[in-house]
Structure 1
Amino acid sequence: MTQTAATLTTNAQAEIVNGLNQCVAETAVTTMLAQNFHWNVTGMAFGPLHDLFQQIYEDHFVAQDDLAERAKALHGHAEGTLGGMLKRSKVTEVEGVPAAEDMIRLMMEAQNTVASSLAETGSLAADHGDTLTEDLCIARGQTHEKFAWLLRAHIS
């Protein structure tokens, strides 16, 4: 049976919100990673990588809001601190300025990590009948997998 924010149990809401906050945290850290790489990429592929990293951080900035607002719609708390996001995220910050090929690999790994967390949260939402969260997670997961493919094409 399809559930809405108003009909989900309190426990279901809390579980889904926890998953959404995982996705928000990883998306936020990946946003900053992409912006860092956008600012600092150099080399023969500067132009296309500079543009791709910008596409990624602009997309992810909007996505953070969509995911956080869904958590709020489920009567939850949206993680809004950088420290909290860094503690929660499986995507980590990068020290220094990696070479362009390393930036690509790191960003591809980050995209796959976020896609995986979105798939897990989408499955959890589906288990509880929350098709709205499931649909959001599916759409976001597809976007992250597309970015991973675009990045992989630069090094394969």
Structure 2
Amino acid sequence: MTQTAAQLTTSAQEAICDALTQSVAETAVTTMLAQNFHWNVKGMAFGPLHDLFQKIYEDHFEAQDDLAERVKILGGHAEGRLSEMLKRSKVAEHDGHASAEDMIRILADAQETLASTLAGTAAVAEENGDMLTQDLAISRGQVHEKFAWLLRAHLG
């Protein structure tokens, strides 16, 4: 049965908020990863990679807000501490010292991790009848799959 946020049970809201919080954490870490690589990329592909990394971090910054606001709509607490996001995230931060090819691989892997996490979030939302969160998670997951593809296309 499809339900609005207000109609969900407390346990459903908590389960969905937990999954969303994981998505927010990984999105935040990946945002900074892309921005770090944007600042530090060099080499023959500097221009297109600099632009692509910027497109990614700008997209992710907005997505963090959408996901965190969904947590709030469901009655949860939007975790805003970077230290907590880093602890929770399956995506690791990076010091930015890497070749352009390694940056691409690292960021593509992060995109695939995010897509998988968001697919899990969608599944939790579906199990609990929250189609609005399910839709948000699916659409975000598709964005991350596309970014992974765009990044890997640079590797040939």
| TM-score bin, normalised by smaller chain | over 0.9
Counterpart in the other structure of 2:86:
86
The CA deviation string for residues 8-44 of structure 1, in whole angstroms up to 9 with x for no partner, is 1100100000000000000000000000000000000
Counterpart in the other structure of 1:154:
154
Identity of aligned residues (%): 71
User: Which whole-Å CA distance do the structure 2 matches of 1:97 and 1:64 have between them?
Assistant: 25
User: Which whole-Å CA distance do the structure 1 matches of 2:140 and 2:103 have between them?
Assistant: 22
CA contact (8 A) 2:111 2:148 kept: yes
User: Which whole-Å CA distance do the structure 2 matches of 1:54 and 1:122 have between them?
Assistant: 27
CA contact (8 A) 2:108 2:151 kept: yes
Task: Name the aligned partner's letter for residue 136 of structure 2.
Answer: L
CA contact (8 A) 2:26 2:89 kept: yes
Match runs of 1:1-156 below 5 Å: 1-156=1-156
User: Which whole-Å CA distance do the structure 2 matches of 1:96 and 1:126 have between them?
Assistant: 38
Shift of 1:96: 4.5
So what's the TM-score if we normalise by structure 2?
A: 0.99
CA contact (8 A) 2:36 2:96 kept: no
Show structure 2 runs of 5+ residues with no match: none
So what's the TM-score if we normalise by structure 1?
A: 0.99
Task: Name the aligned partner's letter for residue 86 of structure 1.
Answer: L
User: Which whole-Å CA distance do the structure 2 matches of 1:67 and 1:96 have between them?
Assistant: 26
Show structure 1 runs of 5+ residues with no match: none
User: Which whole-Å CA distance do the structure 1 matches of 2:68 and 2:125 have between them?
Assistant: 15
Instruction: Indicate the RMSD between aligned Cα atoms, in angstroms.
Output: 0.6
Task: Name the aligned partner's letter for residue 65 of structure 2.
Answer: D
Shift of 1:74: 0.3
